[in-house]
Amino acid sequence: MATLEDIYRKSRLCERISAQEALLLYESGDLLELGKLADSYRQHLIPGNRVSYLIDRNINYTNVCNSDCSFCGFYRHDPKHPESYVLSRDEIEQKVSEAIELGATRILLQGGHNDELPFSFYVDLITWLHDTFNIELNCFSPSEIHQMHLVSGESYRHILTRLQEAGMRGLPGGGAELLDDDVRKRVSPKKIRSGVWLEVMSIAQELGLTTTATMVIGFGETLEQRINHLRKLRDLQDESLSKGHTGFNAFISWPLQHNENTSMGRSRLRENYGADSLQYLRNVAVSRLFLDNIIHHQASWPTLGIETGKMALLFGCDDFGSTMMEENVVSKAGALTQNKWEMSPEELRSVITDAGFSPVQRDSSYAYRV
């Protein structure tokens, strides 16, 4: 059986580590050593001192959702609730116009699972956005695609193809949370299982849509369950790359946010949930070493703050995320974005410089803009 030193040596040589070896790193690896190894691996894949960022806006088109996830404080189950909404075209137009004025190159459009919205709503919305604005559209998530399947009866492939024809260019990695079905049954029993999330992503990658992989830690899961999540992502990435597809172009992880707005935050077990900065950095480093086939790894400043985000750049991350301009979901659950939910391009560049790196703007495909 491999020792820690054996695994350290393999990582220094940029050799693939097994799930069991990743688990040992997670359980017993020295945090600073993991950081050095992850940073070295990042340099192997992306040499140099550049850290990228994206100018975009995240728009939540509806907060009506039938999933009742225990970690969410954003949604309203009843469409008639006074706080329920579906954004109008005028409201969306204003938000997109503000983003373009700032220099945004992407709109991220995500929302709840609203039973009152037919599939035509989504196709018409994407068509209108594509015809009206010159900006890339990365929209929805695998669980939203499943919702469209439920209201239309259409296959995932048909839905994704129609959205792509309408002008959608990417499928964000939201809704993954933790790709372990024992955890999902406990914290979001109405939501899609891990196999569906992976299936939808696989189809999206076959169609050439830009996709990202995400991970949320702090549901009271075991370390084995975290590694299970990473293993499923790596396996799908291997499969996608073997077929000549791009696969996931980035991996982003963050800790669960929970406060009194969420049922997890009101639970008597609430002290068992969430993850601190050190746990987050350990996850960032192990993920960089294990997910050797996903090139870009993104730091998460919205959840644990700018300083921890800067530290993540020394633990294997090469990207500092985006301007956001708007954040409603994790803010409602207690994230730091409830106080600061956007960063200007100037702030992003300043933070990256302060961390000792050279900032460079990118697009959704990680093409640098010079």
> What is the mean pLDDT for each group of 10 consecutive residues in the chain (370 residues)?
93 97 97 98 96 95 90 85 96 95 94 97 98 97 98 98 98 96 94 98 98 96 98 98 97 83 70 85 98 97 92 98 68 43 84 97 89
pTM for this predicted structure: 0.93
Residue 288: per-residue pLDDT: 98
| Residue 287 belongs to some domain of the structure | no
341 located within any domain: yes
33 in a domain, yes or no?
no
Domain assignment present for 319: yes
Residue 9 lies in a domain: no
Please state, in angstroms and rounded to a whole number, the distance separating the CA atoms of residues 288 and 307: 20
Contact predicate 253/226, CB 8 Å: no
CATH of the domain at 197: 3.20.20.70
Q: Which candidate, 107, 138, 58, places its Cα nearest to that of 302?
A: 58
pLDDT tens digits for 44-85? 999 999 999 999 999 999 999 999 887 787 889 889 999 999
**Positive or negative torsion for Cα 286, 289, 291, 295:** positive
pLDDT at res. 75? 85
Is 43 among the domain residues? no
pLDDT at 330: 46
- What pLDDT is stored for residue 265 in this prediction? 66
Residue 262 lies in a domain: yes
pLDDT of residue 341: 45
The first and second tokens of residue 241, run together, are: 């790359």
Separation between Cα atoms, residue 10 and residue 24, nearest integer Å: 13
Is 347 inside any structural domain? yes
pLDDT at site 370: 65
Give the whole-angstrom CA distance, residue 266 versus residue 269. 8
Identify the helix (H) or strand (E) that includes residue 52.
Answer: strand 50-54
C-alpha–C-alpha distance, residues 218 and 38, integer Å: 21
**Residue 324 DSSP SS3:** coil
Residue entry with tokens 């960032």: 284
Q: How far apart are CA 290 and CA 293, in angstroms?
A: 8
Token pair in block for residue 311: 């530290």
Cα separation, 14 vs 38, in Å, equals 10
Containing domain of residue 263, as a range? 50-281+293-363
DSSP per residue, 122-183: HHHHHHHHHHH--SEEEE--HHHHHHHHHHH---HHHHHHHHHHHT--EE--TT-S---HHH
Q: What span, in angstroms and rounded, lies between the C-alpha atoms of 91 and 82?
A: 18
Q: Tell me which residue of 182, 195, 258 sits closest to 222, measured CA to CA.
A: 182
Domain count for the chain:
1
Helix orientation angle between 223-242 and 194-206, rounded to the nearest 10 degrees: 20
Measured CA to CA in angstroms, residue 225 lies from 177, 218, 298 at distances of 12, 11, 21
Q: Give the whole-angstrom CA distance, residue 141 versus residue 175.
A: 6
Cβ neighbours for 318, distance < 8 A, ≥ 6 positions apart: 42, 46, 50, 51, 52, 296, 297
